[in-house]
Amino acid sequence: MTQTEFTQFTGKAMEAFSLFAETNQRVVQELADLAATTAKDGARLYGELQANLVQAAREQQAALLDGPAGWPETQKDPFQWYQKGITAVVEGSQRAFRLFEADAQALTRLAERLEGNTTRTAKEIQEAMAAYATRLKELHPQG
């Protein structure tokens, strides 16, 4: 191998290493962006779920605190007190179901965003690898 061939070989090797580093940086950046977006979406979901839980706890506490105030009514009209109790249980169940439904919808939205972000990231990585392969072939043509 002559000095010229060695210099050409070394230059192409350095270009290949540079190309690999550039592609690797792009892939790592895409994965980091995906992780950051997922963490942000997860934190947002956690906030929504926490807010719903606090709301449910407040409603439950209010219902429990209203209970003792109605005790004198039981002696006056037990049937009306019983009817109010059943109504309160039904309304509480409906509120709980609405909160559960809101939580389920929030989880569904998160899953859809995660799917979209993951698909986009996979496409970007695939494009980066395809570009890497093309540029590597250009650098070392089969002849």
pLDDT digits (tens, 9 = 90+) for 82-120: 888 788 888 888 888 888 899 999 999 999 999 999 999
| Range 29-54 average pLDDT | 94
Q: What is the DSSP string of the chain?
A: --HHHHHHHHHHHHHHHHHHHHHHHHHHHHHHHHHHHHHHHHHHHHHHHHHHHHHHHHHHHHHHHHTGGGHHHHHH-HHHHHHHHHHHHHHHHHHHHHHHHHHHHHHHHHHHHHHHHHHHHHHHHHHHHHHHHHHHHHHS---
| Range 49-63 average pLDDT | 83
pLDDT attached to residue 70: 58
pLDDT above 60: residue 54 = yes
pLDDT above 90: residue 33 = yes
Confidence of residue 34 (pLDDT cuts 50, 70, 90): very high
